[in-house]
Structure 1
Amino acid sequence: MNIGLFTDTYFPQINGVGTSTYTLAKELRSLGHNVYIFTPTDPKNVLENEQGVIRMPSMPCIFIHQYRFGVVYSPKTLKKIAKLHLDIIHTQTEFSLGIFGKTLSKAFGIPMVHTYHTMYEDYVHYIVNGALITKSMSHSFSRIFCNFARECIAPTAKVKDSLLQYGVTKPIHIIPTGINIDKFRKTNYPMADTLKLRSSFGLNQNHKVILVLGRIAKEKSIDVIVNSMPEIFQNEPDARLLIVGDGPGRAALEKQVNSLEITNRVVFAGAKPWNEIGKYYQLGDIFVSASISETQGLTFVEAMAAGLPIVAKKDESIEGVIKNDETGIVFETDDTLAIKILDILKDNKKRNYLAKNGAVFAENISAEVFGKSVETVYKNVLETYEGSAMQLHLSHHGIQGIYRRAECSLIKIKRKNRKLKHIALKPAKAVIKYIEDKNENGGTHNDF
């Protein structure tokens, strides 16, 4: 199969969607498929000749400047895509590249599968503090986008249940993202290298390192962890907090650390390349997360594979991953977090027990199973797809219909936000222009 993965976020950005897309592409290629990743350009990307990665023109996202928003997809770009002869379009996100993939699917009769990675109701605060787009609007947006796909994929039961509540009626498969276990195994990292890396952050062998790894943002609730640190440092003087990652919430978090007067015991390591992230897990003694906005929480499985005991806040997304007192420790209220962390730091036997059980669990979340499961969905979609190859010779009314559907796919964004609306419609305009050009030359679907 020729498979197109469309995502608004990818390396060098470090997040679950980028990791999942990379892993899926790698596994599908190992199964003999041709996979192409469509994603925005990124000024921070230093890699050249990325295998199967097609970078689309972009600009900084209006609301989250660390992210890029795809813009201006020209007819020339479409001609390049035409030569790939895509059999399946698999969208990983719902905005610029997702809309582009959706528009291509509708215009050219290519079946689309969609993976719902992000609980947008937890992110509406980024857009004018939730005043412009409400949680209810995010539900409607998700429903409209998912119901366009032939079939959907959810990484956890929590996500599937949410989509059903939103009104999604298409088949939803629960397929957890797998990971490459070898990348995180402690045995693959010499102790001397780990101690040297620790030392570069001012950490010695005697320090008990509490590791937080991932995007620094409000919805990740890292502030809850920081708030628990004074009590922990008072009772465990050798404890240190290491935060690996970056994001829009970093400045506020640094300010919080300063106000609590714990700067000498908290280390901000910054964002690290994904291909090196495995060695940073080796720096921790325990892994902690207070987030309840996860759709799957890949970092939990990665930490388990690295042999770290986990402390996490109770949430539906981790119910199938973290079993309290077996594969990790679960806390329910923020005021109990410090006690939970101290309990593990002071009990070596319990720490080793949790780490061992977690490592065994991680072995079962393989990338290979992930790839084969998604392949099965593709095959089912292609077998049941009833849409015949759509002719490019569309009437003007049909072209305008595609334009209107693309417009609706960004939900009912208020008219006053014309800039965002205009940017989102550029993918549809490019497809329309390409169709019109092909019509003038008597082109058909087979040309695409």
Structure 2
Amino acid sequence: MKILITSDWYAPTINGVVTSVLNLRQGLMARGHEVRVLTLSQTPYSWCEDGVTYIGAVSAGMIYPGARLRTAPGRELLAELAAWRPDIIHSQCEFSTFLLARKLSAATGAPIVHTYHTVYEDYTHYFSPSRRWGQAAVAAFSRWVISQTACVIAPTAKVRELLERYQVERPVHVIPTGIDLMRFSAPADAAAQAELRRSLEIPSENFVMVYVGRLAEEKNIDELVRHMAALQRDRITLLLVGDGPYRAALERQVQTLGLERQVIFAGMVPPDRILQYYRLGDVFVSASNSETQGLTYIEALAAGVPALCRRDPCLSGVIVDGVNGWQFQDGAGFRTGVARLLADPNLREEMACRAAELARREFSAETFARRMEAVYAQVLERGHSGAVA
């Protein structure tokens, strides 16, 4: 098949959408498909390189941190993609590149499959003074987007239930995003890990709770900091890996609580080093309820790190209580999980093994590509484009 993936986000940006697109492209190409990507440029200029078409764009950070909006028409490049005649267009975002996906679908007859990556209800504080109005707007907008497609991919049952509540009128397929397991199963380099720990000034005897992701309000990291304070233990470190618009507020909270020596802000980390940071953790922690799937959870498990995360429908079948971690509902549950791991190092090692095993079985890029390929074949057999001219 010829498959065109469209996304407002692409490398070098680091987020869940980009991870999904990169792994899907890699997996599909390994299965013999011809895959191209249409995305937004980090500059106002458009070009094509290595099967990726970049359309000129400008920052829209006032609307949402890191967002970009298309400014260049890119007519010649879009004409080249239309002449290539993709069999399937797989859109990953609902804004600039989705409009381009619609145009290319109308020009070629290729059906659009859409992945719904973001629970926009949890982001209404970026664009609406009223949460209720924001939720209604998100539901209406989501229905409109999905009405232009042949079907929609939900990374988890949580997203499927959300779309059903929105009353979307297209088939919904639940397909978890896969990850490149080779990146997270490499043997650990003890010397390099020890040096990284020293560079971050983490005492060798400390128990480390690691969070990886954007430092944004909707990620609820301030709750992790409060739980950290409630532990009242000196030999525990909370390592926050990533950056974002909420960092300054979190730094003020840490200072107010007197946790400067126990909470470490590592900042952004290159993708080729992220495994080292996961493996500094004795446990991966998160208090977010805004995830559609939470790829960092799966990456942590694949790296052999048990997880302690706020209970959420997206974690069904991912974090199994007492097997590869725990899902907590409140501060008491968080403290209980930490206490169990501190009291029994053997339990932590057993959970680490089971964490890696589940990730290998359920969340490989190969499994991801195979499941998506089956949906494409079904859509083409049905012959429904869902495109609107």
TM-score of the pair, normalised by structure 2? 0.92
Whole-angstrom distance in 2 between the partners of 1:221 and 1:37 = 33
AA aligned to 1:226 is V
Return the match for 1:319 from 316, 322, 327.
316
AA aligned to 1:381 is V
Deviation at 1:139, TM superposition (A): 0.9
Q: For the Cα contact (< 8 Å) 1:114–1:151, is it kept in 2?
A: yes
SS of equivalent residue, structure 1 residue 262: coil
SS of equivalent residue, structure 1 residue 300: helix
Deviations 1:171-219 (A, max 9, x none): 111111111222112x523111111112221124322211000111111
Question: 1:132/1:293 Cα in 2 relative to 1: closer, same or farther (>3 Å)?
Answer: closer
* Correspondence for 1:198: 197
Deviations 1:16-41 (A, max 9, x none): 11100100000011111111122222
SS of equivalent residue, structure 1 residue 210: strand
* Correspondence for 1:3: 3
Whole-angstrom distance in 1 between the partners of 2:49 and 2:222 = 36
Deviations 1:62-114 (A, max 9, x none): 31242222223232232232343222111001111122212321344221100
Q: For the Cα contact (< 8 Å) 2:55–2:74, is it kept in 1?
A: no
* Correspondence for 1:212: 211
Q: For the Cα contact (< 8 Å) 1:11–1:274, is it kept in 2?
A: no
* Correspondence for 2:348: 351
Larger CA deviation: 269-278 vs 10-19: 269-278
Q: For the Cα contact (< 8 Å) 1:327–1:358, is it kept in 2?
A: yes
Deviations 1:37-63 (A, max 9, x none): 2222226xxxx9963222221111131
* Correspondence for 2:246: 249
Question: 1:51/1:346 Cα in 2 relative to 1: closer, same or farther (>3 Å)?
Answer: farther
Return the match for 2:382 from 381, 384, 387.
384
Q: For the Cα contact (< 8 Å) 1:152–1:170, is it kept in 2?
A: yes
Whole-angstrom distance in 2 between the partners of 1:325 and 1:383 = 43
Whole-angstrom distance in 1 between the partners of 2:264 and 2:364 = 32
AA aligned to 1:216 is L
Q: Which has the larger radius of gyration?
A: 1
Whole-angstrom distance in 2 between the partners of 1:319 and 1:342 = 23
Return the match for 2:275 from 264, 278, 288.
278
TM-score of the pair, normalised by structure 1? 0.81
* Correspondence for 1:149: 149
Return the match for 1:267 from 264, 268, 283.
264
AA aligned to 1:376 is A
AA aligned to 1:54 is T
Question: 1:334/1:37 Cα in 2 relative to 1: closer, same or farther (>3 Å)?
Answer: farther
1:37-436 aligned at under 5 Å gives the runs 37-42=37-42, 51-61=50-60, 62-130=62-130, 134-185=134-185, 187-232=186-231, 234-235=232-233, 237-334=234-331, 336-364=333-361, 365-385=363-383, 402=389
* Correspondence for 1:439: none
Q: For the Cα contact (< 8 Å) 1:4–1:37, is it kept in 2?
A: yes
SS of equivalent residue, structure 1 residue 264: coil
SS of equivalent residue, structure 1 residue 361: helix
* Correspondence for 1:20: 20
Deviation at 1:335, TM superposition (A): 5.0
Question: 1:53/1:205 Cα in 2 relative to 1: closer, same or farther (>3 Å)?
Answer: farther
Question: 1:331/1:33 Cα in 2 relative to 1: closer, same or farther (>3 Å)?
Answer: same
Deviations 1:105-154 (A, max 9, x none): 13442211001111111111111444796101101111111122111111
Deviation at 1:370, TM superposition (A): 0.6
Whole-angstrom distance in 1 between the partners of 2:166 and 2:384 = 26
Question: 1:133/1:29 Cα in 2 relative to 1: closer, same or farther (>3 Å)?
Answer: farther
SS of equivalent residue, structure 2 residue 69: strand
SS of equivalent residue, structure 2 residue 192: helix
Aligned residues: 384
Deviation at 1:334, TM superposition (A): 3.8
Report % sequence identity.
39
Whole-angstrom distance in 2 between the partners of 1:247 and 1:124 = 17
Question: 1:261/1:118 Cα in 2 relative to 1: closer, same or farther (>3 Å)?
Answer: same
Larger CA deviation: 288-297 vs 107-116: 107-116
Whole-angstrom distance in 1 between the partners of 2:81 and 2:73 = 11
Deviation at 1:369, TM superposition (A): 0.9
Write out the 4+ residue segments of structure 1 that deviate beyond 6 Å after TM superposition: none
AA aligned to 1:211 is V
Larger CA deviation: 344-353 vs 255-264: 344-353
CA RMSD of aligned residues (A): 2.2
Whole-angstrom distance in 1 between the partners of 2:339 and 2:357 = 24
Q: For the Cα contact (< 8 Å) 1:222–1:290, is it kept in 2?
A: yes
Whole-angstrom distance in 2 between the partners of 1:3 and 1:295 = 24
Unaligned regions of 5+ residues in structure 1, if any? 391-400, 403-448
* Correspondence for 2:32: 32
Whole-angstrom distance in 1 between the partners of 2:130 and 2:39 = 27
Whole-angstrom distance in 1 between the partners of 2:349 and 2:280 = 16
